[in-house]
């Protein structure tokens, strides 16, 4: 599922984000670079705590202050360097050009406001619509996400909706101003299998209609196979491998990518014990020298313990950070 060459909506260069605590600096995102094209879905994959969500929040500049800080790098959205914008200028971009769907819809939606009021807020803020015009825009956003009877649903409160419907409402808020980039942070985690499949199909339909670029944050390789054109694999704050989705599944080159794929249960094989990756990810306050995956890597050599690997291009749009790859 390789996406044809189109315009790059987002370009990230050397992004570094840290959290400063009493115990020390937590290097949550440490010098990552990637891009997303128009109408393309990039999967951001890795274990919990590897920096996926912090990457999304960094792009939106929504880090909890004063602990969270972007220390370096560049974020270009349609040629605009988001890190060079003032807070006021960034508020005009956030929600209009770039939006995010968070994991849990119940913590994303305000329980004391109706669905319609919450979707109308970005519409009023970024499009200047009021009254009946704003109401029509809200109905259009609900209809885009296949919410039945949108004229009635806009008067409902979040507690009156099912989990799947609340997740669609969060999607309607994110898409209400037709953003150029949508960040979806594990939006299917709380959904059952049937609703998850419907929601993923809805994502693809919305992308086809709007040509929005999507960053899909997930730990589920089944979702990656269904949704993504390219994949960036993260480990301990760094991207260790980037490739088209088909290539990642057929020819993974980094030992961590191979281990993640091997961890996915398969129905065509009978095994006594499911595969798991030995050990634990390193502390982001006390990172090991050399390759960060080295302590858990079955292929590690002496150089892996001493020097951090440089990026190697091993194919079209396929890059790996590993000493074992020639």
Residue 181 lies in a domain: no
pLDDT at res. 222: 85
The total of structural domains in the chain comes to: 1
Residues in CB range of 102: below 8 A, 6 or more apart: 108, 170, 185
Residue 233 lies in a domain: yes
Residue 64 lies in a domain: yes
Residue 186 lies in a domain: no
Select the highest-mean-pLDDT range: 31-35, 139-143, 186-190.
Answer: 31-35
Q: Mean per-residue pLDDT for 165-185?
A: 91
Q: What is the pLDDT of residues 217-255, one digit of tens each?
A: 998 888 899 899 999 999 999 999 999 999 999 999 999
Q: What is the pLDDT of residues 40-72, one digit of tens each?
A: 999 999 998 899 999 999 999 999 989 999 999
Pairing of strands 8-21, 24-37: antiparallel
User: Is 127 a residue whose pLDDT tops 90?
Assistant: no
Residue 316 lies in a domain: yes
Q: Mean per-residue pLDDT for 134-155?
A: 91
Parent domain of 315: 8-97+212-274+308-321
CATH of the domain at 86: 3.40.50.300
Residue 107 lies in a domain: no
Residue 42 lies in a domain: yes
Nearest to 138 by CA among 113, 120, 157: 120
Q: What gap in Å lies between CA 158 and CA 160, rounded to an integer?
A: 5
Residue 44 lies in a domain: yes
């Amino acid at each position: 599922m390789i996406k044809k060459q189109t315009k790059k909506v987002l370009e990230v260069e050397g992004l570094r984000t840290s959290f400063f605590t009493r115990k020390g600096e937590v290097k949550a995102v440490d010098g990552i670079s990637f891009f997303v094209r128009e109408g393309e879905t990039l999967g951001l994959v890795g274990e919990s705590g590897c920096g996926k969500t912090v990457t999304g929040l960094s792009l939106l500049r929504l880090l909890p202050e004063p602990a969270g800080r972007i220390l370096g790098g560049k974020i270009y959205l349609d040629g605009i360097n988001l890190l060079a914008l003032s807070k006021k200028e960034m508020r005009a971009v956030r929600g209009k050009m770039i939006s995010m769907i968070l994991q849990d819809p119940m913590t994303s939606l305000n329980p004391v406001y109706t669905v319609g009021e919450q979707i109308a807020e970005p519409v009023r803020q970024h499009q200047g619509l009021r009254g009946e015009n704003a109401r029509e825009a809200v109905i259009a956003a609900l209809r885009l996400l296949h919410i039945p009877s949108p004229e009635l649903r806009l008067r409902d409160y979040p507690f009156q909706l099912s989990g799947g419907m609340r997740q669609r409402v969060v999607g309607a808020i994110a898409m209400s101003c037709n953003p150029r980039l949508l960040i979806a942070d594990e939006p299917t985690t709380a959904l059952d299998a049937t609703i998850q499949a419907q929601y993923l199909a809805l994502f693809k339909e919305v992308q086809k209609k709007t040509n929005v670029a999507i960053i899909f944050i997930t730990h589920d390789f089944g979702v990656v196979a269904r949704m993504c054109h390219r994949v960036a694999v993260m480990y301990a704050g760094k991207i260790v491998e980037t490739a088209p989705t088909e290539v990642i599944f057929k020819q993974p080159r980094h030992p961590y990518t191979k281990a993640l794929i091997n961890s996915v249960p398969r129905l065509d094989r009978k095994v006594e014990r499911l595969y798991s990756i030995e050990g634990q990810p390193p502390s982001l306050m006390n990172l090991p020298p050399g390759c960060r995956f080295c302590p858990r890597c079955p292929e590690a050599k002496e150089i892996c313990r001493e020097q951090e690997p440089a990026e190697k291009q091993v194919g079209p749009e396929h890059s790996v950070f590993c000493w074992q790859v020639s």
